[in-house]
Structure 1
Amino acid sequence: MRRTTTDLLLATAAVAALSVTAASAADLPAAYKAPVVVDQPWTGGWQVRARALAVLPKDSVDLNVAALGAAGNLPDTGSVSNTVIPEIDISYYFTPNIAAELILGVTPHKVRGEGRLAGLDIGETWLLPPTLTLQYHFTNFGAFQPYIGAGVNYTVFFNTSGANTTTLVPLGVPVAVTSLSLKNSWAPAVQIGFDYMLNKNVGINFDVKYLWLSSDVTATLNNALAVTGKANLDPLLIGGGVTYRF
């Protein structure tokens, strides 16, 4: 009987303690309660970005006037203009960290003479430079999500034409570029950037890419002289815009 009474008292005390604990937990401020997950982290899928993109080519065009032999080598005699364009890119995330990105856009550029061809309008061209990169995204900084990437570019030159404007260049002769052509070419690409996510789906983006891009140049001067050369474009692409994930 003595043991039964003791057990009953212990059981009653335990029930009372549990009741007090439950009541106290109910009265705790919300900040001290266990967090409630209201949304699951993004686990991958499709993403699109709309950006303003500055295309900044390296100013280096080397030409050679074949008919002049050794005297026709004209290094660093041309430059390619900078441009700013709207650009769309599409990405697919295989995981929250690994993604592939394809950028799409077209850029117009003017080619002008420099050095011994200063003042000469060489011509103009449009570039279609689709670039595919494989990226690693860092996801341990919260809303700030930097990434690095590397891939390949294939640039198509189209609507290319000589300026066909006669200019008296420092060489002492009147010159007009009557035809101009640049060869399509492959190039390696690297990039670095970040997304700052405002919520699960929408963010802002900043991105920098560099392409090791060159192209063979052929042209005709004054409808007679054949010109060959190399345009070392190596453009720096700097973009900023908005990100949407779905």
Structure 2
Amino acid sequence: MKGIWASLAVASCFMAVPAMAQDNSGDDFKRVMIRGGFAYLKWDEGASVNVGGQVVPGGTTRLSNNKGVEIDVSYFLHPNVSVAVAVGVPPTTTLYGAGTLESAGELGKVTYGPGSATVLYHITGLGPVKPYLGAGVNYTIIFKTKDRLLQDFKAKDTVGPVLQGGVDIALNKSFGIYFDAKKIFATSDTTWKLPTPAGLAPGTAKVKLDPLVLNAGVSFRF
């Protein structure tokens, strides 16, 4: 249901863009903004775990939160509307057993590259302070997985809706600072083999990720 509402928000934003884009807003209007800063990613994780075709009752997973750097580029179609693309420097998260699998410890590691494309509505008329809201699509590429307890551990790329909000604060005509938050809704399918006394048992897990990404930094507009 969350994904449906986010997708509808994206569609509404895109429908509004053509009409807003007709405003040229003067020759001195700065249409491009580049931002970069510190990012903190907190997972809202969970999983459905199967081993040998059987559901593991109460078995789930936990992921280590990440810190890193995020960069985004926005193009303003109008003072109130922009399209933005954001990417993060690829971090690595560790997958742990949780619930009835708590004693399993580290299960594996994943290095991933998060990226999102959003349409944003900027609120003007507040001087140098410009809050914004928007929605779009997140695509996360899995670059590398590493075995721990699990053997032959693999995870699939994810695609899902993203909601975004924040505020830009202009320090002058070109430079500023910003605070941003993104809520991403995504699930990754994983496959692996679990060592047992009888040998390696094949397993799968559908891992709910749904991270919240908070970041702040500096901006340059031209």
TM bucket by the smaller chain? 0.7 to 0.9
Encode CA deviations 1:87-140: one digit per residue, 9 max, x unaligned. Answer: 111111111111111111122100011122113210000111110000011111
User: TM-score normalized by structure 1?
Assistant: 0.74
Of 89, 114, 123, 1:129 maps to 114
How many pairs are equivalent?
192
Bigger strand share: 2
- 1:64 maps to 50
2:190 maps to 1:207:
no
- 1:226 maps to 202
- 1:190 maps to 163
Aligned-pair identity in percent equals 32
Unmatched 5+ stretches in structure 2: 1-25
State the SS of the aligned residue for 2:78: coil
CA separation of 1:42 and 1:64: change in aligned 2, threshold 3 A: farther
- 1:55 maps to 41
2:86 maps to 1:103:
yes
- 2:16 maps to none
Contact 2:187 2:208 survives alignment (8 Å)? yes
Bigger helix share: 1
Contact 2:118 2:136 survives alignment (8 Å)? yes
CA separation of 1:195 and 1:76: change in aligned 2, threshold 3 A: farther
State the SS of the aligned residue for 1:94: strand
Paired AA for residue 37 in structure 2? R
Paired AA for residue 160 in structure 1? T
State the SS of the aligned residue for 1:99: strand
- Give the C-alpha shift of residue 155 in structure 1: 1.1
Q: CA RMSD in A?
A: 1.7
Contact 1:42 1:200 survives alignment (8 Å)? no
Contact 2:185 2:210 survives alignment (8 Å)? yes
Contact 1:112 1:121 survives alignment (8 Å)? yes
CA separation of 1:208 and 1:76: change in aligned 2, threshold 3 A: farther
Contact 1:44 1:95 survives alignment (8 Å)? no
- Which whole-Å CA distance do the structure 2 matches of 1:110 and 1:177 have between them? 12
User: TM-score normalized by structure 2?
Assistant: 0.82
Contact 1:44 1:92 survives alignment (8 Å)? no
2:211 maps to 1:238:
no
- 1:89 maps to 72
- 1:161 maps to 146
- Which whole-Å CA distance do the structure 2 matches of 1:125 and 1:185 have between them? 13
Larger RCO of the pair (alpha carbons < 8 Å, separation 6+): 2
Unmatched 5+ stretches in structure 1: 1-39, 164-175
- Give the C-alpha shift of residue 76 in structure 1: 4.5
- Which whole-Å CA distance do the structure 2 matches of 1:206 and 1:234 have between them? 20
Of 74, 98, 101, 1:117 maps to 101
- Which whole-Å CA distance do the structure 2 matches of 1:42 and 1:141 have between them? 20
- Which whole-Å CA distance do the structure 1 matches of 2:84 and 2:58 have between them? 36
- Give the C-alpha shift of residue 74 in structure 1: 3.9
Runs of 4+ residues deviating >3 angstroms: none
Encode CA deviations 1:170-213: one digit per residue, 9 max, x unaligned. Answer: xxxxxx31121111121000111000111111111000000111
Paired AA for residue 245 in structure 1? R
- Which whole-Å CA distance do the structure 2 matches of 1:87 and 1:213 have between them? 19
Select between 40-49 and 145-154 the one with higher mean Cα deviation.
40-49
- Which whole-Å CA distance do the structure 2 matches of 1:42 and 1:212 have between them? 38
- Give the C-alpha shift of residue 41 in structure 1: 9.6
Select between 137-146 and 74-83 the one with higher mean Cα deviation.
74-83
- Which whole-Å CA distance do the structure 2 matches of 1:140 and 1:244 have between them? 20
